[in-house]
Structure 1
């Protein structure tokens, strides 16, 4: 399910939304490696609670395309590379986009509400990626009887992801969990059997 056997060209053609998001994140990361604009990018786009409170709400979106360090973007984009295609195929392009961005945005909102320090700053696509995992959790909920093998694949991924969230340093736990819950709720709506039946008609 999450083993990618496509060639580079096949991957781009079959999963255009995931491919575009990955490409945008990589381009932005490469730009932040340029010393003269690195801090400008982070100051203009990072999710900073105090500036969001001042009305700069767009930071909840722009921060999803910023990553601090090579390992940060490597882990996030590799996760998106693995988990994103199957959800794009199952849900469709527009539903995938709403899951991805709403999970990231609501992860940012949860951070803004719960982390009350005005200097609290975060960047990264992790909340959105946890939304993808949460949407798969909803799919497991509906297909737990008809496809029990799906549960054996997805549930360990969810459990390990949540555990690692609490074990790793400098992680925005609130964004991860907020994205996970948002993705699960959206998945409950999108993957409701009668809704999926309408897609096929």
Structure 2
């Protein structure tokens, strides 16, 4: 039967809440233990390294988002995933959230890879930040009145925080600030999440934020 929707924006059936966010956090924790304490050399096979990808390690576009560079890196990423991911998953359903999260991370990795390749740089890309930036944007779309306490002290509306982060990441990428932070991956996550909302969810984030300002 023709439902009038293309496969791009056809929603899942039985898209109930099964706490995928917690499962993702557990997987990240297990991979962190593996790559940090049990088999440190496995990080070279799981992280995204352009020269490795060119030699056939294409799974790194997927696995890099589960590898982290230290305790503070994984702690703050997983804290953000827990806070924002749980709310988004409850709103869109677990299957939709998992699809969104994984696609955002994979596309962010591919864009970063292509840019690193064009620039002739061979870096090691790790972390879930690209996907989490995307989750933050979708959180701001569904909960535009929510306030996020930056540093636990400064309350900022979620849409304002997204715009602020986008400006900081873009400025840092252009002017080369931020050291080893993957600003390009963060920007890619925000951009893909915006397109995901527009194309698949049929929601214009900017229109939502304009109505709530």
Provide the residue aligned with 2:161 in structure 1: 157
Provide the residue aligned with 1:178 in structure 2: 188
- Say which structure is richer in helix: 1
Provide the residue aligned with 2:7 in structure 1: none
Q: Distance in 1 between matches of 2:82 and 2:144?
A: 24
Q: Distance in 2 between matches of 1:182 and 1:94?
A: 18
Provide the residue aligned with 1:189 in structure 2: 199
Following TM superposition, the consecutive aligned residue runs of length 4 or more in structure 1 with deviations greater than 6 angstroms are none
Q: TM-score, normalised by structure 1?
A: 0.76
Task: For residues 120-179 of structure 1, give each alpha carbon's deviation from its aligned partner in whole angstroms, at most 9, with x where no partner exists.
Answer: 211000011111123235x36xxxxxx863597321221343355436431111111111
Q: TM-score, normalised by structure 2?
A: 0.72
Provide the residue aligned with 2:135 in structure 1: 132
Alignment of 1:111 with 2:112, yes or no, is: yes
Provide the residue aligned with 1:24 in structure 2: 27
Q: Distance in 1 between matches of 2:137 and 2:74?
A: 20
Is 2:116–2:122's contact at 8 Å kept on the other side of the alignment? Answer: no
Provide the residue aligned with 2:85 in structure 1: 84
Deviation, structure 1 residue 50? 1.2
Deviation, structure 1 residue 180? 0.9
Q: Distance in 2 between matches of 1:133 and 1:37?
A: 32
Given candidates 36, 39, 45, the residue that maps to 1:37 is: 39
Question: CA RMSD, aligned part only?
Answer: 2.3
Q: Distance in 1 between matches of 2:87 and 2:103?
A: 18
Q: Where does the alignment leave 5 or more consecutive residues of structure 2 unmatched?
A: 1-16, 148-155, 204-213
